Structure 1
Amino acid sequence: MKWAIRDLLNPVVTRSMIFGANPFDIEYILKKIDGIKVMSGKQIQNVWLGEWAEKIRKYTDLARQAAESGHRISAREYYKLAAECHYACFMINTEDIDKKAEIYDGLVQAYRQYIACCDNRVEYVEINTEYGVLPAYLHFPDDGSHGPYPCVMTYSGIGSCKEELEMLADPLTKRGLAVLTPDMPGAGAAVIRNGIKCGGPMLESAFDSIYAFLTERPDIDQDRLANFGLCMGGGYAFRASAKHPETRCCVSLFPLLMNFADQNAIPVWMKRGKWSSFQYADDYLEGMKRIEEGTVACDFLMAYSDDDNWMDTDASMRLYNKATGYKEKIYIAEKPAYVSEETIMHAMPVGEQFHWVKHRAADFLADRLAERK
């Protein structure tokens, strides 16, 4: 065989590692995948989900034992490991929507157990939009009693969830910033529980509603707001900043604008199927043209790569040139390790470079939002 069955899981593995899944746990399960003798998507899915379920049981039991013994730090770390295992399962694009919802509910529960053990305050909030409620978390850098805080609004795209945005929030709260992590239309509980699909009108309403929500929070400094997005969320961050000129700064990491992208490079699993149809609104691509509108005058940072096979360099520069104020760009020259000609993986440059790019992005935001002492 020219390539291993495990290669089919490269996008799932990369996303899981971005979120923080233990690489030894991943390799253990991939070895189980290697043992599959027949090319069967159903069997790959069953082995992947089944092996992660065993890991979830292990870490959840360890978390409970630690909590009962008064070992809060250990409990927090074990619940986080359990949440990361649930997330690895959530990354599988199963056509069984009920199963997908069940997996997501497990992630939500594990993540809530994790944040309950965190030293900083993480508040669950709900944001009312024209199309329904967006569930979100508001992360504080401390116990939340020292506001008003500068705040960064974070975004990711289709197939994501607010729990995943922990990876964007963590480096920011460590730098003294509050962070809002919403389930955007088509993502997480917004679509699974509240039926808000991803489309231009839904996103436009979400951007406005998020800003309106923050204006009602006395613990948030309205003069120090920023947008920060990854992948499709990078396009969201740009559009939100264009709509709201009061934004102090904007960061787009490996941004994706669907109408800028090569439509032939978009994977089949994103174009059709039960899970895809469940997430997207009617006339999705036409509606997404709204996200391309406008320019931003605030400070702007963009990371991009020649190996992003959805948004080539020319497409990335089209977005960059729409920023009219101070701007910086980070060019990623490293070649991705997770790559094969049989698999289309927009996530690869993001996944493999995110571990260091996130600190450049966090410093850019903190320099413009945080009070220096």
Structure 2
Amino acid sequence: MDICEQCFESNSVSNHIISTGKKLKTPVKCSECGNYTLYRLNDIKLKNDVQKIIRSFYEHEWEHGLVGSAGMIAKEEGDDIGLYLPGLMTLKDICYMLFEIDCDERFYELLKDYDTDGESEFDQSPDEESWLDMGCKWEGSDNIGLEWEKFCENVKHKARFFDHSGYSRISELSKLNKTFETLSIETNKTLYRARKITSEIVLQLIEKNAAKELGKAPFHLAGLNRFSPNGIPYVYLSEEKETAMLEIRLQEGEECAIGEFQTSTLNLVDLRNENLEQIRQNPFSEKHTPELICSYNYIQGFVFNISKPIKDSDKHLDYIPTQIVSEYIWSLGYDGFIFDSSLCDGDNYVLFDEKYTYYDYEVLAY
């Protein structure tokens, strides 16, 4: 049986049918939903794809026999065995969370394995609370849930340079390794870096050696930044000239020199909100992994700290969490990361080393 892109009210399912299904020459009436549509996908293919996704995030309690074990633990008949169980979910809950399918009996029917004589977990009632969240909430799993505020509190106010008995930064950050791998991309780009022309002397220095003056700062001039502490220079670049000008807080009437750099092929962690949202909203994406979804809020905490305004007097303390995460990304072998500008819709890049070639510069006024 074939189904079409309008059979279910789910953007992710519809897009999956469009991207993996067969496109017809002209719209044809769908035998399942009655709509005239262009795409068809075999229902078995969709069922297998959906089941695979569900099993990657959840397990039926049959796998562990936890309901029976909880019943044995309960002291008296009639005790609420839910007190002895991790959070259980229904198949309906899962389908809503992953695919935004809300009480569509046809979808639950699609998932059934009729050749198993009721022995498949998908043959059971979709209203039964029989599924375990294996990614984040069940302590018996490889728990990868993270708390950004807890991390910030520990590295700012308890132990900054070494782990201690109550908290291990390395153990916590290592839970992000697979997420960073999922978010990594290889790219080469033309990028820009701006510098204010504050005096005639600065302009003369740039004219004399623009590659040096507009590139990575020397150690003795590396100041405190959101991602790097004093004395450790990173390269801060932008994908657009306008973004580079805004990032140095150029005011009306001021001038700047904008250097143009071509990077080599870089392995970067893409932390842009649009990228994160596209992955989060598409369960059929290979990047929609349990590790990424469970660490999503932690990553969002890091991204929020990147963009929130911080008083000059608070920078030394409030920059510590983002500096530690940045250096951890570097320690994993990445060349840097990409993030959204907080001042416009542009993209910013942090590079740990000088993996770029200087081309030219120009002087622009704001």
By the TM > 0.5 criterion, same fold? no
| Larger strand percent | 2
Give the TM-score range, shorter chain: under 0.3
Q: TM-score of the superposition, structure 2-length normalised?
A: 0.20
Q: TM-score of the superposition, structure 1-length normalised?
A: 0.20
Task: Select the structure with the greater relative contact order (CA < 8 A; seq sep ≥ 6).
Answer: 2
